Amino acid sequence: MTAKKSKPRGRPALAPAEKKRRNFTFRGTDELHDHISKAAAESGRSISEEIEWRLGQSFFMKDAVRWAVEATVAKTFAYVDEQRAKERAQGNSERPFLDIVQGIMGDEQ
């Protein structure tokens, strides 16, 4: 008796150059699945598309926060330099950096 060859499961694999997406497999809680399912339904995306979109956003947000912080720091230094120049022009002694920054923050608190 000859052994019967089993047919491979699923469709044939694409060549690496033809692949559009890469497969990820991970485990999650039932609660996470419920959240993702609900979000996918609300956005009109599949669960896989929703996961991919959210992961992509997490990397974008990390960069966006870094850019925002860098811009804020640069503006703060520019403001402090401007304030110190005004104080020098008026003949006043320079205030410490933190005193000027706390003056900015005092307006918001």
Tens of pLDDT, residues 76-104: 889 888 888 888 888 887 788 778 877 77
CA distance 63 to 57: 10
CA distance 41 to 39: 5
Residue 29 is given by DSSP the state: -
- pTM exceeding 0.85: no
Ordered by start, the domain boundaries in the chain are 29-108
Closest Cα to residue 39, out of 61, 55, 26, 27?
55
Other Cβ atoms less than 10 A from the Cβ of 45: the count is 16
